[in-house]
């Protein structure tokens, strides 16, 4: 039987002929077929993945050089373009739309011989925290099918958590990789803004969006990151970085770790999660790390600022889906061009997306612009300055990923504000562009997993991943 622990071991097993790429793909196709009720995949590329696996096995048997992600089986969130494959952002407005090109991240995966097994369900246009806003229906949490998997990259998280692929890609605008990773008990990493090209990622809020990686362990996340974070002339917001992350399995350094007092004392935070994080901080202190409480009275402004700014950017980004340049065209009779746009967009977009487009237009409208958009920009600036200050005396921030474990399906669906508050601890990293990771470590008495969130200063992705691994190993001891 095919067993996967990590990419390095898989590559060893391939070299020693203990397994093959075909065996790996067959295994994952089987797991996907047996778990259809989770609704994690929008499309599975079975025939094509098997053919690619066969070709890779053949190349290896002929001793041809192998790529860095040779035979690694990967799933993509349905907002990432893969040439000649459908990409719909889980929206009716893009139903049956086919990508004309590869996202740069996908191109880099293919160049290194990864096998793309399918596209994953998500919230429509990546807007949501529960994967319930999808034209394909809700995704279910594999650990408890009555719970949400988190969102918006719920399908990608479930695909890794339920063993349907080795790693997957999602996008993280306000927590959409870290929060579902936390709810499903796996690793979810959002790099520094600008580390991975956004070319070919369907835009939600361009100054926040970043492709993120789901994996079973930190080493696999690093392997994928090194491949997909190559610089790219098609994304001018990319930061220049040419150093590959050199991952050392064993590192035992001592660091200055800050935790945000106002986060840990926030009434929204589940008591058990709070206790577990404090216990972890205590044991890190015993291990010789320096632990510092940090005042963070801006916490209650992060969600409003995030939703004002992202809605504003979304209202602009989504204007291209008008049924003429892109998207669904209404079949009902229209009297003029404006009427045509209205019908196309009213029929094509789901409720939450419409809410955000309207909110975005409202906060950008003259008369309200200064009260909302300018104010939110000012909060963003204050947060950025505060973050720089924190990292002048700390190496990392450690906080929970989410205030609760996975909640019930339908629990928050009708109450957008309570849904937005689920992002209270994750949006900070996107507002400030810093790297952040969710590491699964604990189990709640309700049986669900949860972990912790580590954040580092901009461009300190390598140190963050290295320390995350140290923390995971520490937990195993
Ligand atoms: N839940 C957040 C939102 O709906 C984050 C989404 C994301 O990161 N794509 O905006």
Structure confidence by residue, pLDDT tens digits, 200-214: 999 999 999 999 999
169 contacts 159 by C-beta, under 8 angstroms = no
Q: Would you say residue 477 has pLDDT above 70?
A: no
Indicate if ligand 1 lies below 6 Å from the C-beta of 200: no
Structure confidence by residue, pLDDT tens digits, 68-97: 999 999 999 999 999 999 999 999 999 989
Atom of ligand 1 nearest to the CA of 176: 8
SS3 440: strand
Domain of 35, CATH number, reads 3.90.1300.10
Mean pLDDT in the chain? 96
Phi and psi at residue 257, to the nearest 5°: -115, 130
Residues 255, 258, 264, 269: is their CA dihedral positive or negative?
negative
Indicate if ligand 1 lies below 6 Å from the C-beta of 188: no
> What is the reported pLDDT for 132?
97
Indicate if ligand 1 lies below 6 Å from the C-beta of 209: no
Atom of ligand 1 nearest to the CA of 423: 1
Indicate if ligand 1 lies below 6 Å from the C-beta of 90: no
Atom of ligand 1 nearest to the CA of 204: 9
What's the structural domain count of the chain? 1
Domain assignment of residue 379, given as a range: 1-477
Model pTM score: 0.97
Q: Is 114 exposed, middle or buried (0-12, 13-18, 19+ CB in 10 A)?
A: buried
Q: Would you say residue 266 has pLDDT above 60?
A: yes
DSSP letter (8 states) at residue 371 = I
Indicate if ligand 1 lies below 6 Å from the C-beta of 174: yes
> What is the reported pLDDT for 1?
87
> What is the reported pLDDT for 276?
98
Give the Cα separation of 68 and 20 in Å (integer). 16
Confidence label for 251 from pLDDT (cuts 50, 70 and 90): confident
Residue 253's alpha-carbon distances to 219, 248, 284, 325, 390, in angstroms, are: 18, 12, 11, 54, 20
Structure confidence by residue, pLDDT tens digits, 378-420: 999 999 999 999 999 999 999 999 999 999 999 999 899 899 9
Q: Which residues pair with 65 in a beta bridge?
A: none
Cα of 175 from ligand 1 centre, angstroms: 6
> What is the reported pLDDT for 100?
96
Confidence label for 247 from pLDDT (cuts 50, 70 and 90): confident
Structure confidence by residue, pLDDT tens digits, 147-200: 999 999 999 999 999 999 999 999 999 999 999 999 999 999 999 999 999 999
Indicate if ligand 1 lies below 6 Å from the C-beta of 148: no
Following DSSP, what letter does each residue of 109-153 receive, concatenated?
A: HHHTT-EEEEEE--SGGG--SSS-S-TT-----SS-TTB---SSS
Closest protein CA for atom 10 of ligand 1: 127
> What is the reported pLDDT for 175?
98
Confidence label for 475 from pLDDT (cuts 50, 70 and 90): low
Atom of ligand 1 nearest to the CA of 208: 8
Q: Would you say residue 243 has pLDDT above 80?
A: no
Cα of 13 from ligand 1 centre, angstroms: 38
Cα of 209 from ligand 1 centre, angstroms: 9
> What is the reported pLDDT for 476?
61
Catalytic residues: 77, 152, 176
């Amino acid at each position: 039987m095919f067993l996967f622990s990590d990419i390095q071991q898989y590559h060893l097993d391939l070299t020693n002929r203990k397994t093959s790429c075909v065996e790996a793909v067959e295994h994952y196709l089987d797991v996907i077929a047996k778990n259809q009720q989770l609704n994690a995949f929008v499309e599975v590329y079975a025939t094509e993945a098997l053919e690619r696996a066969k070709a890779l096995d053949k190349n290896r048997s002929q001793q041809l050089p192998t790529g860095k992600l040779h035979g690694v089986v990967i799933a993509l969130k349905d907002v990432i373009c893969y040439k000649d494959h459908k990409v719909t952002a889980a929206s009716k407005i893009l139903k049956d739309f086919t990508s004309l090109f590869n996202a740069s991240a996908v191109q880099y995966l293919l160049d290194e011989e990864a096998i793309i097994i399918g596209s994953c369900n998500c919230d429509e246009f990546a807007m949501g925290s529960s994967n319930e806003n999808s034209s394909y229906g809700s995704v279910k949490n594999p650990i408890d099918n009555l719970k949400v998997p988190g969102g918006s990259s719920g399908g990608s998280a479930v695909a890794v958590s339920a063993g349907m692929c080795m790693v997957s890609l999602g996008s993280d605008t306000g927590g959409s990789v870290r929060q579902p990773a936390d709810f499903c008990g796996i690793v979810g990493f959002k790099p520094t803004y600008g580390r991975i090209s956004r070319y070919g990622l369907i835009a939600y809020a361009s100054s926040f969006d970043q492709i993120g990686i789901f994996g079973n362990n930190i080493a696999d996340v690093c392997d994928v990151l090194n491949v997909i974070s190559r610089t790219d002339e098609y994304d001018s917001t990319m930061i220049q970085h040419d150093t590959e992350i050199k991952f050392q399995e064993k590192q035992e350094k001592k660091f200055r770790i800050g935790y945000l007092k106002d986060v840990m004392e926030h009434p929204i935070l589940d008591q058990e999660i709070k206790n577990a994080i404090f216990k972890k901080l205590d044991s890190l202190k015993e291990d010789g790390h320096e632990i510092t409480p940090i005042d963070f009275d801006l916490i209650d402004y992060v969600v409003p600022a995030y939703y004002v700014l992202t809605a504003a950017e979304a209202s602009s980004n989504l204007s291209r889906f008008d049924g003429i340049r892109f998207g669904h065209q209404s079949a009902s009779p229209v009297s003029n061009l404006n009427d045509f746009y209205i019908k196309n967009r009213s029929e094509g977009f789901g409720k939450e997306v419409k809410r955000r487009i309207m909110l975005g237009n409202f906060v950008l409208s003259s008369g309200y612009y200064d009260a909302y958009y300018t104010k939110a920009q000012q909060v963003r600036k204050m947060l950025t300055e505060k973050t720089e200050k924190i990292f002048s005396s700390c190496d990392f921030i450690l906080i929970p990923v989410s205030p609760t474990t996975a909640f019930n399906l339908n629990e928050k669906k009708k109450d957008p504000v309570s849904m937005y508050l689920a992002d209270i601890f994750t949006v900070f990293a996107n507002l400030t562009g810093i790297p952040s990771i969710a590491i699964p470590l604990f189990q709640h008495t309700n049986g669900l997993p949860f972990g912790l969130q580590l954040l580092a200063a901009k461009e300190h992705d390598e140190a963050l991943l290295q320390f995350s691994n140290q923390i995971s190993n520490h937990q195993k001891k």
